[in-house]
């Protein structure tokens, strides 16, 4: 079997960029829309993992952004109920994004959860002191992730 190749000087992937899909909530007569989650994350694998996990909660709608600037724009436009925020984005760090969210009256009250591979107690303490509601470590513990969503979106 031979593989096809592009003519010399043409890069088939030159204009290719990964844009993660916005996953819409699935609804049925038994489930009602219960909340909107925005996940700001630049790693495609992490985005896919969270999309799969959130799909197990059909009452939730998930939107995604791949950097801090677009995440801030989506937060203002969508006003999600919960923002999951990667702490190391290509343009801004999680603390800068949180500070911008808190300084804008339209987004100041949105609950934000830090999501990071940095799992040292000092990292977690700093995030809580900065105003994050929780600190979820990567790789994600699937049961803990779903429990965290359930706790946030419980009807209490």
- CATH number at 63 reads 3.40.50.2300
Determine which of 2-11, 21-30, 117-126 has the lowest per-residue pLDDT on average. Answer: 21-30
Helix (H, G, I), strand (E, B) or coil at 115: strand
- Residue 60 CA to residue 84 CA, distance in Å, equals 13
From 93, 89, 97, select the one nearest 73 (Cα to Cα). Answer: 97
From 111, 106, 73, 108, select the one nearest 91 (Cα to Cα). Answer: 73
Does the residue 70 lie in any domain? yes
Determine which of 10-24, 65-79, 86-100, 103-117 has the lowest per-residue pLDDT on average. Answer: 10-24
pLDDT of residue 33: 56
Percentage of the residues of the chain whose pLDDT score is greater than 90: 76
**What's the pTM value of the predicted model, to 2 decimals?**
0.79
Does the residue 21 lie in any domain? no
Q: Check whether 24 has a pLDDT greater than 50.
A: no
Question: Model confidence over 108-120: pLDDT tens digits?
Answer: 999 999 999 998 9
Does the residue 73 lie in any domain? yes
Does the residue 7 lie in any domain? no
Query: pLDDT averaged over the chain?
Result: 85
């Amino acid at each position: 079997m031979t593989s096809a190749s592009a003519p010399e000087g043409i890069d088939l992937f030159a204009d290719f960029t990964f844009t993660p899909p916005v996953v819409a909530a699935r609804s049925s007569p038994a489930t009602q829309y219960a909340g909107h989650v925005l996940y700001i994350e630049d790693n495609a694998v992490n985005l896919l993992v969270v999309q799969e996990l959130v799909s197990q909660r059909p009452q939730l709608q998930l939107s995604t952004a791949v950097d801090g600037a677009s995440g801030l724009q989506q937060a203002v436009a969508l006003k999600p109920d919960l923002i999951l925020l990667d702490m190391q984005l290509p343009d801004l760090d999680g603390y800068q994004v949180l500070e911008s969210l808190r300084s804008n009256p339209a987004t100041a009250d949105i609950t934000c959860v830090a999501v990071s591979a940095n799992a040292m107690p000092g990292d977690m303490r700093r995030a809580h002191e900065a105003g994050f509601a929780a600190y979820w470590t990567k790789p994600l513990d699937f049961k803990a992730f779903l429990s965290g969503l359930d706790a946030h979106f419980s009807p209490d």
